[in-house]
Structure 1
Amino acid sequence: MMDPGLLLEALSVLSGCNVESTSGPSQLSPQDFINVVALRQFYKQEGLKELDYPSLGTMSLQDQDLYQTPPSLPEVVEEPSLRTTIKINLEDFFHPNFNYDFTNVKDGDKQFLRGNERYVRPCGWNRAAIRVVGHYGEGDGWLGTGTDAWPVSYHGHNMDGSLGIILKHKGNPDERPDFQDAAAACLVADDTQGRGVYSTPDVKTAEKFCKIFSSKVDGKKYKVVLQNRINPKNRIECQRQNVWVVYIPEGRNPAQTRAIVQESLRPYGLLLKAV
């Protein structure tokens, strides 16, 4: 297992909160954690200043102004007083048996599949596995390698609506009535942006939009990315290659928005790369 202090720093950078260790129950499950990460970016994109989340209360989004998008990939610097504190039990949150160090792995022409789609493994990164086995009522098929598995998705935290317009819908458009209007708007407005949460099947694309931080544990700088599985029924391809969006229609309240994210993205790895 990676150094616990380094893992806490990485979780703090992704969530915009002060993540601290506890021997008691975690305030957030892994699914709640990715909900917070995704929703903070989405609501910031929507121009909101605060995010309310069950068990955490109201979180300020103002500290997000201190992050800038690549290519400069600036070091993360935040004012601690603006941050919500989250208590995480690392033994419950991480699953070291499934850790995998891809730092020196080179796949070359090797092909891997997840859910019958190409899986680009995170070569060059060190993965701390997140404990999600048995956490979902329908079983763990979504996490496997078979045809019923969900494809792999990477979340670089600075990925947002500036990445491009919706190109086409995967899944049943009838399940999302507002999709037709959004897609039609894209045909007449070049600057139309898909409203939702962005990710990518390509870790190199995610790396361009990730965060970088200086660790107080070892003095090194690290890039951090989340590795997820994405529900193929809730994913829309964007005009820009290798970009997906989980579309959130206008008019959805916070509970409905949270439910869309929860039904669409499931985390299973925290990726770190020394700069």
Structure 2
Amino acid sequence: MPDIDRTILLEAISALTGSTVKPFTKRRRSILYDELTTENFLPTVFSPTIYTDPGLPVLMHRLSLKAHSGDSQCDGASALRKELFVDMENFLDPRFDYDFRRRSDSSECTRGGEPYTRPWGWYRFALKVLDKYPDGNTWLGPNGWRSHSSFREWPVSFHGTSIEGAKGIARSNYRAGGGQLYGRGIYSTPDIDIAEHFTMFKKFESKNGRTYKVIMQNRINPAKRVYTDEEDYWLIPVPEGTSAVQEKQIVEVSIRPYGILIKEV
């Protein structure tokens, strides 16, 4: 077991989702619960309004900012956090965990025909995604240490937090350089350094007294990805007015998380 263990992982998932995430217990299985799965993980991170009152994410964000500034008025935040429960055995796949903190190299690498820099300095907890989707596992490519792409695999992208949210941009519009309107959707990047920059909203202090950053590692469907004018910013469009069911369907065929990366600050 690494020094970044599953207790810290649960805290990281809580930071990503804005909820208090707990493992299942025998008692919990006998009553109603909101379950976090690999299939609804990214929609939960991307669009908490699907699962909570629409005004809650904005309020939670404001409380979070107050908490980081030492404002004692944010004590009510914990009461607002929604509880989610996760079956750790069905959510995680330890066979594919990897400690990228222990080595590094500068060799060129590609995934899905795009340059890929391994997340050196991070510990990856692998999600259990094999055989989870009806189109099979080709999107992941073959397992193993390799520098080349595999036929029909998807490129890798990273998601530190809602990029449009970190820029203070409204959910309905993202107007970036040159006045280009990119639109509502999921923004991710193939550059882990860019994703790490946006973890300023996803840092969390563990109960062990240490502070960590957390990033999602994804595969993105090249047929659904939109390039923006800003270098290394990719968009999966999700039009305004899309229902929760449609939004989940769009996400499922467009971008799939397969790892959670954690780094001590």
Secondary structure at the counterpart of residue 212 of structure 2: strand
**1:265 corresponds to which letter in structure 2?**
I
1:205 match: secondary structure: helix
SS at match of 2:179: coil
Any idea what the Cα deviations from partners look like across 1:71-130, whole Å, max 9, x if unmatched?
xx989x87111111011121211111100011132222x111211221121111110111
What does 1:1-275 correspond to in 2, within 5 Å? 1=1, 2-23=4-25, 27-40=35-48, 51-53=49-51, 58=53, 60-61=56-57, 62-67=59-64, 79-108=77-106, 110-144=107-141, 145-160=149-164, 190=179, 192-210=181-199, 211-216=202-207, 218-275=208-265
Give the total of aligned pairs: 237
- Displacement, 1:250? 3.5
Helix, strand or coil: the match of 1:31? coil
Tell me which residue corresponds to 2:144: none
User: 1:132, 1:268 within 8 Å by CA — same for their partners in 2?
Assistant: yes
Find the residue that maps to 1:263 and give its secondary structure: helix
Asked if the contact 1:164/1:239 (under 8 Å) is kept, the reply is no
Distance 1:135 1:98, change over 3 A: same
In the TM superposition, what whole-angstrom CA distance separates every residue of 1:134-185 from its partner, at most 9, and x where no partner exists? 11111111011512101101001141167699xxxxxxxxxxxxxxxx9xx9
The TM-score, its normalising length taken from structure 2, stands at: 0.80
1:202-241 deviations in whole A, cap 9, x for unaligned?
A: 111100001211110x221101000011111111111211
Change (3 A) 1:63 1:115: same
1:265–1:74 distance in 2 versus 1, CA, 3 Å: farther
- TM-score, normalised to structure 1, is 0.77
Residues 9 and 102 of structure 1: CA distance in aligned 2, closer, same or farther (over 3 Å): same
3-state SS, counterpart of residue 36 of structure 1: helix
User: For residue 173 of structure 1, what is the aligned residue in structure 2?
Assistant: none
- 8 Å CA contact 2:46–2:162 kept in 1: the answer is no
- Whether contact under 8 Å (1:163, 1:240) holds in the other structure is no
Distance in 2 separating the partners of 1:138 and 1:239: 31
Contact kept, 8 Å, 1:224 with 1:271, in 2: the verdict is yes
State the distance in 2 between where 1:161 and 1:240 align. Answer: 16
Identical-pair percentage: 39
